[in-house]
């Protein structure tokens, strides 16, 4: 583990799941003085979020491992720093990714500050990621289990915070983590992984979002302007979506599936097309608000050759990144990318090293024919 936790007080973010439970076990066995800190980030009154059950699981884990448990409520900070951004982005027609902000603002922000007040020398989480200290500089690396690697979500965390963080699971696979939990009799060894966003839980996304943002139904149209249905509100849809459109089986169309290919904000129209369409392909993008973990990388000014991901778990995509006036970035891909969503993040890598990332602002499609593409920021997006 980097840094070495032996004989140091480590404050571990303990969610109540198997990953953070095994992280606690490994830290304890590595000689750390482990204190667990469980966060409440969302106060749910309708029972969809599992926060109460997770807290009880965290208590049982700490009792079994004989480590102290602290509990802190960051619900207000989460609403102010993460959830409000989430709503603002959807209102602007974009696709936000709250996990990136949650890491930067909560887990490695207010959580880190609280951990220091508890006497913590180091922070630890159950993320599948690694760090490496090279010539006095902390670098973020992909986790060994590339299917679970979470460096994508950590790209906006500061180098300083990463230098004080231990990722005990970085060299393990998910199967190995569950095996360790089972071998040590941890009750959460077979607990289902959480999916999606905690504050949405298992409830329907449309139902949740409509309680905060007014729906605005409108027409569903083809690229040539033919109306083929009605949508419930542009914010409920994402580029590339094929489920839930309600336009299948039309007598005047073939059997090929329909896909969302665009949003016409001016007309409040959802644009759809059938089959394998070039309207979902883009060969580049522009991005804003770049976060470079170790500062802008060498060679950026001349066009940096690297690889990138425009969504979690996407295979690495070859690209060239160049700075634009005003601090934005231009990204050109070696191969066209499908259904890139503004509001999401493009994250850059050199080998296993995560360089940082930026917010996708505009996409550059390989074909504009017949499309009602809106080039202004915020006109394209939806729920991913």
* Residues involved in catalysis: 102, 198
The count of residues in the chain is 384
Q: Is 275 left (phi over 0), alpha (psi -120 to 50) or beta?
A: left
Q: How far apart are CA 246 and CA 234, in angstroms?
A: 14
CA quadruple 367, 371, 376, 382: dihedral sign: negative
Residue 39, H or E segment: strand 33-40
Do residues 70 and 59 lie in contact, with contact meaning Cβ atoms separated by under 8 Å? no
Assigned token pair, 264: 């016409």
DSSP letter at 41?
Answer: -
Q: How far apart are CA 58 and CA 50, in angstroms?
A: 12
DSSP-assigned beta bridge partners for residue 329: 287, 323
Taking the mean position of all CA atoms in its chain, how far away is CA 321? 21
DSSP string covering 53-110, please? HHHHHHHHHHHHHT--EEEEE-HHHHIIIIIHHHHHHHHTT----HHHHIIIIIIIII
Q: How far apart are CA 280 and CA 262, in angstroms?
A: 8
Nearest in space to 383 (alpha carbons), one of 219, 204, 193? 204
| List of E strands, 214-373 | 218-221, 227-231, 258-264, 269-274, 281-292, 304-309, 317-323, 329-338, 345-350, 353-365
DSSP-assigned beta bridge partners for residue 10: 34, 122
DSSP letter at 235?
Answer: G
Q: CB-hemisphere CA count at 13 Å for 188?
A: 28
Do residues 48 and 200 lie in contact, with contact meaning Cβ atoms separated by under 8 Å? yes
């Amino acid at each position: 583990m980097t840094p070495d936790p032996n004989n140091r007080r480590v404050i571990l973010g303990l969610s109540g799941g198997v990953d953070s439970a095994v992280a606690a076990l490994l830290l304890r066995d590595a000689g750390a003085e482990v204190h667990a800190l469980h966060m409440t980030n969302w106060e749910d009154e309708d029972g969809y979020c599992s926060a109460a059950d997770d807290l009880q699981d965290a208590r049982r884990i700490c009792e079994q491992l004989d480590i102290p448990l602290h509990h802190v409520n960051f619900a207000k900070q989460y609403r102010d720093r993460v959830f409000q951004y989430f709503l603002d982005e959807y209102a602007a027609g974009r696709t936000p990714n709250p996990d990136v902000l949650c890491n930067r603002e909560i887990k490695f922000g207010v959580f880190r500050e609280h951990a220091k007040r508890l006497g913590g020398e180091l922070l630890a989480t159950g993320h599948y990621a690694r760090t490496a200290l090279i010539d006095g500089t902390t670098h973020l690396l992909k986790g060994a289990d590339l299917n679970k690697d979470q460096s994508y979500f950590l790209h906006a965390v500061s180098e300083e915070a990463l230098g004080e963080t231990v990722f005990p699971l970085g060299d393990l696979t998910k199967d190995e983590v569950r095996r360790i939990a089972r071998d040590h009799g941890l009750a959460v060894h077979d607990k289902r992984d959480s999916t999606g966003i905690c504050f949405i839980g298992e409830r329907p996304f449309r139902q949740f979002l409509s309680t905060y943002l007014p729906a605005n139904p409108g027409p569903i149209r083809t690229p040539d302007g033919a109306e083929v249905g009605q949508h419930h509100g542009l914010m409920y849809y994402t580029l590339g979506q094929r489920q839930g459109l309600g336009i299948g089986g039309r007598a005047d169309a073939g059997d090929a599936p329909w896909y969302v290919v665009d949003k016409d904000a001016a007309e409040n129209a959802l644009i759809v097309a059938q089959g394998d369409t070039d309207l979902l392909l883009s060969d580049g993008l522009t991005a804003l608000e770049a976060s470079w973990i170790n500062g802008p990388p060498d060679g950026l000014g001349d066009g940096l050759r690297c690889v990138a991901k425009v969504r979690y778990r996407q295979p690495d995509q070859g690209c060239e990144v160049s700075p634009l006036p005003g601090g934005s970035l231009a990204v050109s891909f070696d191969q066209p990318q499908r259904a890139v969503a503004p509001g999401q993040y493009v994250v850059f890598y050199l080998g296993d090293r995560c360089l940082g990332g930026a917010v996708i602002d505009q996409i550059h499609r390989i074909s504009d024919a017949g499309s009602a593409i809106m080039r202004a920021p915020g006109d394209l997006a939806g729920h991913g």
